[in-house]
Amino acid sequence: SDVCSSDLFIFQFDDVQNEKKYYFAPVYWAYENNITTGTGKNPPVFTPEGTVTRGQIVSFLYRMAGEPAVSGDMPFTDVGEKKYYYTPVLWAFQNDITTGTSPTTFDPDKPCTREQIVSFLYRYAGEPAITKQASFTDAKAGKYYMKALSWAAENNITTGLNDGTGRFGIGQSCTRGMSVTFLYRLFNQ
DSSP string computed for 148-160: HHHHHHHTTS---
Return d(Cα 97, Cα 68) in angstroms, integer: 14
What pLDDT, on the 0 to 100 scale, is given for residue 5?
Answer: 44
The per-residue pLDDT for 61 is: 96
Q: For residues 141 and 150, give the distance between their C-alpha atoms in angstroms, rounded to a whole number.
A: 10
Strand partners for 51: 175
pLDDT at 4: 46
DSSP category for residue 175:
B
The pLDDT averaged over each successive group of 10 residues in the chain (189 residues) is 46 85 92 87 87 96 95 97 97 96 97 96 96 92 94 94 90 94 91
Per 3-state DSSP, what percentage of the chain is helix, strand, and coil (rounded to 5)?
A: 35, 5, 60
pLDDT value, residue 12: 81
Q: What is the pLDDT of residue 14?
A: 85
Q: What is the pTM of this model?
A: 0.88
What pLDDT is recorded for position 11? 66
Residue type, 137: T
Helix (H) or strand (E) holding 186: helix 176-187
pLDDT at res. 118: 96
